[in-house]
Amino acid sequence: MYLKKSFIIINLILGIQHLAYADWINQAAMKVEPHTIQLSHYIHTNPELGNLKFKTSELVQKELNAYGAEVKKGFAKTGVIGVLKGGRPGPVIALRADMDVLPIQEKAPVSFASQATGLYEGKITPVAHACGHDAHTAMLLGTAQVLAEHREKVAGTVVFVFQPTEEGGADIDNFSQGEQIGSRKMIADGALSNSKPEVIFGLHVMAGMPSGHLYYKDGAVLNSADGVRITLNG
C-alpha cells in the first residue's frame, strides 16, 4: 500500500508525462518502503491527540532534517513545514498530510495496535489512529525522502505540510475556539507565507478502495464537518 501510494504522489509532483520516468520512481519508492512502514507502525502505536502531538512533531522534524529538507515549526502549536528546493526551475507545490488521532479505543488484532490513553477535554480516554492519519504522515515522509534523494530531478520547490488538529484540539473548546486549530491556524501562523505554493495536494486513505488506485471527483470531497451546539430549556 505504502509503495503504491508514494508512487502515485511522486508522479503527481513531478508531473510525469512519459513512462520512461516510472522505473526510477518505482525503484526509489521500493527502497524507502520498509522505513515508511516502520514509521507508520511507530506512529500508530504512539498516537497523540490534537494540540498535544509533541513527540509526533519531533519525529517529523527529525526525519525531514535527515533528508536535508529545510524544517520550520511552531504552526498551530505542533505543525511542521518542510521545504525542498529542486535542482530545476519550476513552481512551488505543496503536499499536505494530517496527523491527528481519535479519542476511541482500538480493537484491531495487529501487533502495532494502540494501547495509549490521552487527556481529552479533561478526561483520560483511550486514543487511536482509527482514521489512517498515521499512514498519511508516513507516506508524506516517504515521499519527502524520495524527492530529497533525487532533488536534481525535481522542477521547482516542494513544501511538505504536516497539519495537526484536523480532528480538533483535545485541550480547548473546539466550538468557540475553532480558529485555534487545523489549517486555519497554520495559515494564520504563517505556514505558507514563505515559499507560497501555487497548488496543494492532499489525499486520504479509505477502506473499501483498491490499493494503488487514486480516486477523485469534481467539487467538494472529504469536506469538513460543522458542529452544532443546542441548548434546551424546559
What is the average per-residue pLDDT within 171-193?
A: 89
What is the average per-residue pLDDT within 94-98?
A: 96
Q: Is the pLDDT of residue 209 over 90?
A: no
Q: Is the pLDDT of residue 97 over 90?
A: yes
Tell me the CA distances in angstroms from 74 to 78, 116, 175, one per residue in order: 6, 25, 23
Q: What is the pLDDT of residue 16?
A: 44
* pTM listed for this prediction: 0.87
Q: Give the Cβ contact number of residue 42 at 10 Å.
A: 15
Question: Hey, what's the torsion of the CAs at 65, 67, 70, 73, to 10 degrees?
Answer: -40
Q: How confident is the model at residue 105 (pLDDT cuts 50, 70, 90)?
A: very high
Sheet containing 88-98: give its strands across. Answer: 70-75, 79-85, 155-163, 88-98, 199-202
The separation between CA 4 and the C-alpha centre of its own chain, rounded to angstroms, equals: 16
Q: What is the pLDDT of residue 2?
A: 54
Strand pairing of 199-202 and 88-98?
parallel
What one-letter code names the amino acid at 146?
Answer: V
What is the average per-residue pLDDT within 90-106?
A: 95
With CA atoms as reference, report the closest residue to 78 among 163, 157, 15, 150.
163
Could you name the CATH architecture of 2-202? Answer: 3-Layer(aba) Sandwich (3.40)
Q: Is the pLDDT of residue 229 over 90?
A: no
Domain spans, the chain: 2-202
Q: Is the pLDDT of residue 14 over 60?
A: no
